[in-house]
Amino acid sequence: MKLSRHLFPSLALLAVFCAPADAADAAHGKRIAERWCSACHVVTSAQKTANADAPSFADVAQRRTDAKALANFLVDPHPKMPDMHLSRREIDDIVSYIRSLGPRPRAPEPGIDRYERPKNG
């Protein structure tokens, strides 16, 4: 009996510290997007100006709901988009933020472990 009284709180504490560490942080993704992406894209509903040719993040969220596809795009962006050399964590956070803007906002996902670089040519 005494062992279970001490074991359960220890396991619960371990779960609290281990589980959320891998989840993407949409709030951090929003801050990154406001800093690096807002020159071209509308990244928040409060933003007033952006490049007319660049889709808003809300539009991207409507069209691209697959987290892996979004992450892969950020790893190897199109030619007009600068390569910002984002870390995997930053990419996961931006993807989490974009997905939070979709028609059915999704809960944060664990980090995407495998990034694929598209093959050119």
Q: What is the pLDDT of residue 111?
A: 52
Q: pLDDT tens for residues 54-92?
A: 999 999 999 876 889 899 888 887 778 887 889 999 999
Which pair of structure tokens corresponds to residue 111? 């980090």
Q: Could you say which DSSP state residue 113 is in?
A: -
Report d(CA 82, CA 87) in Å as an integer.
15
Q: pLDDT tens digits, residue range 15-45?
A: 444 444 457 899 999 999 999 999 999 999 9
Contact 40, 59 (CB under 8 A): no
Percent helix, strand and coil across the chain, each to the nearest 5? 50, 0, 50
Give the whole-angstrom CA distance, residue 67 versus residue 95.
6
Structure tokens given for 45? 């509903």
The residue among 79, 81, 91 whose CA lies nearest residue 33 is 91
pLDDT digits (tens, 9 = 90+) for 82-103: 878 899 999 999 999 999 998 7
Cα–Cα dist 42/33, whole Å: 9
* Short-list 92, 120, 119, 121, CA closest to 108: 92
Amino acid at 65: T
